[in-house]
Structure 1
Amino acid sequence: MATRRTIRTWVVIDAVLVAVFLVLLVVTLVSGDDEPADPGAGPPSGSPTAVATRAGDATEFALPSGNIACTMAASGVTCTIASITYDPPAVAGCTGDTGHVLVLNDDGFAFDCVNGAAPSVAGDDVPVLEYGSSATAGGYTCTSATDGVTCTDDAGVGFKLARASWEELP
């Protein structure tokens, strides 16, 4: 028959094992999902550098929410947004959808006409540009923030894009 001391020892060991399991579970859950459910909920990153990939002369990234993804090159910037709540602007001659693809290049800023389905949320294979960080290609710079992405050329021409609104800059 087990003594009281033996039983207490096993209870303490069980409690320690449960505590270790809970700590490991919390660490796994926190490190497994770096994106806040609400794009405005996460703190901005203190790092001013980009986490993006370069394919040839192109840089690709998504904001932590995954709703906005951009491709940058020396020739310009193209950003897609999967979910919008603003009224999309009309694009002359467009018989498809507008509001989900924005382009900034030597011709300036414009919404692109999309024939087919709207872009989807960026996949896990797209590198994340953390909030507060910037990426640059050629004369173009995009900055990720909890309230969307801002992309401009060297002259300050560009756009600010978020789920609820867009703005032409300057």
Structure 2
Amino acid sequence: MGLSSRMAGLSRGMRAFLLVDLVLVLALVVVAAVVLSGALRSTGPRDTGSDVDPAPSASLSGQASTPTPTATGAGLASFTTQLRNIACTMSDEGVTCTIADKTFVPPGAEACTGTIGHVVVAGAEGVDTPCVDGPAPAKAAPDVPVLEYGSTSTVGGWTCTSATNGVTCVEDASGTGFRLARAELVAIG
């Protein structure tokens, strides 16, 4: 089922919600790309290819680094993981997450002429990975709060949990949602 036929099955309000979320996520990606433009490559934590930050509280020189906003959850509307590879926006209607670096191939990739799998949207209609025009998103900006590993954030009827193996977001009432990590996207429920 193509994106246009899936979108046609959504209510007008849900389509508007998804469109606004997508625009906001893409705007965040553009701002992050402009702000970071290479800064993470020269001063950020070493990317080991996993979702684990090798030294979250020290700079490469061993000196204490400038603290990043962190949180233990309880209602962050927007957050990122410790490596800033996954960033999510939560609302009463659902969750939208982006992933900068991924190795999995999402369903529907062969039909997408843009990028697919870098944006995951969960809402009343289920989980979707829209085909998006343009490049993959950049890692989250330094001012986006970090949801520490083992912590959760709940907004509306949705709960997201950050862990070393990715981010899991589920609708509290139904238990449906997804787990997103560099190596895979798994539908839940």
CA RMSD of aligned residues (A): 2.6
In structure 2, the residue matched to 1:130 is 148
Going from structure 1 to structure 2, the CA distance change for 1:151 and 1:50 (only over 3 Å counts) comes to same
Q: 1:51 to 1:106 in 2, by over 3 A?
A: closer
State the AA in 2 paired with 1:99: G
Count of paired positions: 129
Q: 1:40: how far off?
A: 2.6
Q: Contact 1:130–1:144 (CA<8 Å) still a contact in 2?
A: yes
Partner of 1:150: 168
2:147 counterpart SS class:
coil
Preserved CA contact (<8 Å) 1:52 1:61: no
Aligned counterparts of 1:41 and 1:97: Cα–Cα separation in 2: 26
Q: Take 1:132 and 1:49, find their aligned partners in 2: how far apart are those partners?
A: 8
2:28 maps to none
Q: Deviations over 1:1-43 (max 9, x none)?
A: xxxxxxxxxxxxxxxxxxxxxxxxxxxxxxx97x674433569
Equivalent runs, 1:18-97 vs 2, <5 Å: 37-38=47-48, 39-40=51-52, 49-50=72-73, 53=76, 59-90=77-108, 94-97=112-115
TM-score by length of 2: 0.61
- Give 1:168's aligned amino acid: A
Q: CA deviation at 1:146?
A: 0.4
CA gap 1:74/1:97 in 2 versus in 1, 3 angstroms = same
1:65 deviates by: 0.7
CA distance in 2, matches of 1:105, 1:134: 18
Instruction: Give the TM-score taking structure 1 as reference length.
Output: 0.68
- Between the aligned partners of 1:105 and 1:132, the Cα distance in structure 2 is 23
Cα 1:169–1:119 change in 2 (3 A) is same
**What percent of counterpart residues are identical?**
48
Cα distance in structure 2, aligned partners of 1:143 and 1:162? 12
Query: In the alignment, does 2:158 pair up with 1:140?
Result: yes
Conservation of the 8 A alpha-carbon contact between 1:69 and 1:81: yes
Report the CA distance shift for 1:153/1:83 in structure 2 as closer, same or farther (over 3 A): same
How far apart are the structure 2 equivalents of 1:132 and 1:104?
21
Aligned partners of 2:85 and 2:99 also within 8 Å? yes
Structure 1 portions without partners, runs of 5+: 1-31, 54-58
Q: Structure 1 pair 146/131, CA: closer, same or farther in 2 (3 Å)?
A: same
Q: 1:129 to 1:51 in 2, by over 3 A?
A: farther
Look up the equivalent residue of 1:100 and give its one-letter code.
Answer: H
Unaligned runs of 5+ in 2: 1-42, 56-70
Amino acid at match of 2:73: A
Q: Give the counterpart of 1:102 among 120, 142, 148.
A: 120
Cα distance change, pair 41–123 in 1 and its aligned pair in 2 (3 A): closer
Q: Secondary structure at the match of 2:149?
A: coil
